[in-house]
Structure 1
Amino acid sequence: MTDFTTARDQIVAVGRWLDGKGWAPATSGNYSVRLDDGSFAVTVSGRHKGRLTPDDAMRVDAAGESLDGKRPSAETALHLALYRAFPDVGAVLHSHSPAAVGLSRAVTGDGYTLTGHEMLKALPGIATHDASVILPIVENSQDMAVIDAGITPRLLEPGAIPAYLIRSHGLYGWGRDMAEAERVIEAIEWMIAAELAERSFR
């Protein structure tokens, strides 16, 4: 668990890190941390993630209601759905890389299989490159309840990884703490980029 001051600093830092990689263009992306009092620290709506300040993080309750008068990201509901589904999750990140969005638009179906990557070992519970996982893809919607209903049952299936793509939108990844969430996002983004690079040589 984490106090708000620590979570706020983590959110500012991760915003700059993701923006530096080109994974948070314009004001896209949103980040959150589970707090030790049962509330959640989240990014304020409409802020550029590469220029976040401590004032750009806020607290919401388990229903997504603001606890300090600020307006949370519209996608806060998707973060809270993950915290409800996985009580051990401590942080959730949402990136918008061109590679992830491009892959989600280029492939059909409700998932993409990642096989044989050394980087798979960065995901929790995977100890060898000799593995295959499915990165789920859910259709985009302006209604967060529709996305939640479409993806959460799949995330609860055996062998599910802590990440999913929203088609034409971006990547969600999460972990027990911010460091693990960062590792998941970076590993998935790297594997997506590698897959697209491989396709370019075919």
Structure 2
Amino acid sequence: MTAAPSLRDRPLAEALCACARWFAERGLCPATGGNFSVRRDDSDSVLVTASGVDKGTLTPAQLLPVALDGTVLGQGRASAETGLHLALYRRDAAIGAVLHVHSIANTLLSRLSEPSELVFEGYEMQKAITGQSDHLGRLVLPVVDNNQDMDALAATVAGCMDTAAIAHGFLVRGHGIYAWGRDIAAARRHLEGWEFLLGCELTRRQLETHA
């Protein structure tokens, strides 16, 4: 069990938990899956979900403070994928929150034909992603191979970060999506937008198959 967050961290912790519960209520964190983090005010550490907790009932006491070098600053065991969150925070000081969920759409689309990227064009929801001003542009979401070694996975992600930075996210094949933003609200908007786009794309392919 982790300790309650400090008074300084309480607003961030409450906001991150509310965000996680919202996604869990929509079926995007099955079987305690998914992980969520937010950069603390000192910028040298984050709050991240503890390992194995139910995101549908997540409370601030189930968040751990972790330094960017991976040192756990509280009591408990951080999510197994904390290292990937930390690699993103270290790479880009503008990242304020990182959200990771599992959906049928993001999992299946990352595996169908083993794509290295998914391309979206013509969807109004593309404007949910920061920097996208209309539906006419070509929005690319990178897809990387899964790896249980978080250091190796982080190195793979680093190779696609120019594209991922524009998309504010990437897919891990057969696993799920990571999305981020300057704060929790921006990260949530990006993740909601991507999940809508991925759902549309999966349904489009299904309809074309049966046409």
Report TM bin, short chain. Answer: over 0.9
Distance 1:53 1:187, change over 3 A: same
Which of 1, 4, 20 is the aligned partner of 2:9?
Answer: 4
State the one-letter code of the partner of 1:184.
Answer: H
Match of 2:39 in 1: 34
Q: Residue 101 of structure 1 corresponds to which residue in structure 2?
A: 107
Q: 2:56 maps to what in 1? A: 50
SS for the counterpart of 2:93 is coil
1:160-171 aligned within 5 A: 160-171=166-177
Quote the sequence identity (%). 41
Q: Any gaps of 5 or more consecutive residues in structure 1?
A: none
- Mapped contact 2:142–2:163 kept (Cα < 8 A): no
Matches within 5 A, 1:98-177: 98-157=104-163, 160-177=166-183
* Distance apart, 1:90 and its partner CA: 0.4
Large movers: runs of 4+ above 2 Å = 156-160
Match of 2:69 in 1: 63
Structure 1-normalised TM-score? 0.95
For structure 2, the residue ranges without an aligned partner over 5 or more in a row are 1-7
**In 2, Cα distance between equivalents of 1:50 and 1:199:** 31
Counterpart residue type for residue 50 of structure 2 = V
Aligned length: 200
Which segment drifts farther, 171-180 or 36-45?
A: 36-45
Deviation, 1:194, is: 0.3
Q: Distance in 2 between matches of 1:100 and 1:157?
A: 18
Contact 2:118–2:142, Cα closer than 8 Å, also in 1: yes
Query: Is 2:131–2:166's contact at 8 Å kept on the other side of the alignment?
Result: no
SS at match of 2:73: coil
Structure 1 pair 139/91, CA: closer, same or farther in 2 (3 Å)? same
